[in-house]
Amino acid sequence: MSSLFPLRLRDAQVRRRGKTILGPVDLELDGQGLTIIVGPNGSGKTTLLRVMHGVERLSGGTVDWSMDEDRARERQAYVFQSPIMLRRSVADNLHYPLRLSGVSRREAEPRVADWIKRIGLDGHAQAPATRLSGGERQKLALARALIRQPEVLFLDEPCANLDGRATREFETLLLATRDSGTRIVMATHDLGQAKRLASDALFILSGRIHDSAAAPAFFDAPKTPELASFLRGDIVE
């Protein structure tokens, strides 16, 4: 099976009401690792993720995978900061994306059972998903994204509303996902989390990428004064 990658952004720009929200961005990602995107609030992290995922309209430039857009979209998944749960059971939330992909109920059952076990919800398969705790809902959202075995997973600050234990459990799932071969691109405001997870990292400021490098060089030897200030905890505008 051919690969999605590389992903290439060339002069990618997003403008709204005459204001540039993102860009110009030139970026190329290969098919391995876990890329972390950091930057101040409002810097463009979410917009960059949405552009890469293909759900944000470009004002200029291009975003290209190694295959056509429709086929590329089928191999991607996205997890939001605040997950949206279907008003159905835990199991039904996991069956839903498989049904959309044409997977039979019989074939889906073992995959659903496996993911319920992985996210620690054994015995809760028929519980209403909307009654889960915040950490449980976010793990279910991750399982729902991964059950179709996407080639790339985008995440937008998925642990922002989680406590320490839930964050640790979520990160464990992410690392296992990365090790299984799924490419991950994730925005986070938590520098500790960025250091724990990143294979490489991007620093975005005012809609533009100001620094990028493999970890830990990104954190230990920033190439721009803006990133150095951000890593010290200074307010960067």
Closest to 82 (Cα-Cα) out of 20, 137, 15? 137
Q: Does residue 143 register a pLDDT over 60?
A: yes
* C-alpha separations of 143 from 54, 98, 113, 169 in Å: 21, 12, 11, 13
Q: How confident is the model at residue 216 (pLDDT cuts 50, 70, 90)?
A: very high
Q: Quick one: CA dihedral 155, 137, 180, 199, positive or negative?
A: positive
The single-letter code of the amino acid at 102 is G
User: Helix, strand or coil for residue 159?
Assistant: coil
Pairing of strands 183-187, 208-214: unpaired
Whether residue 39 sits in one domain with residue 26 = yes
How many distinct structural domains can be found in the chain? 2
Domain hosting residue 222, numbered range: 7-85+150-232
Whether residue 125 sits in one domain with residue 79 = no
Give pLDDT tens digits for 54-87.
999 999 999 999 998 888 989 999 999 888 899 9
Domain end among 65, 100, 131: 131
Note the pTM of the prediction, 2 decimals. 0.94
Give pLDDT tens digits for 86-138.
999 999 999 999 999 999 999 999 999 999 999 999 999 999 999 999 999 99
Query: Which letter, b or e, does each residue of 132-146 get, where b requires 16 or more Cβ atoms within 10 Å of its Cβ?
Result: beebbbbbbbbbbbb
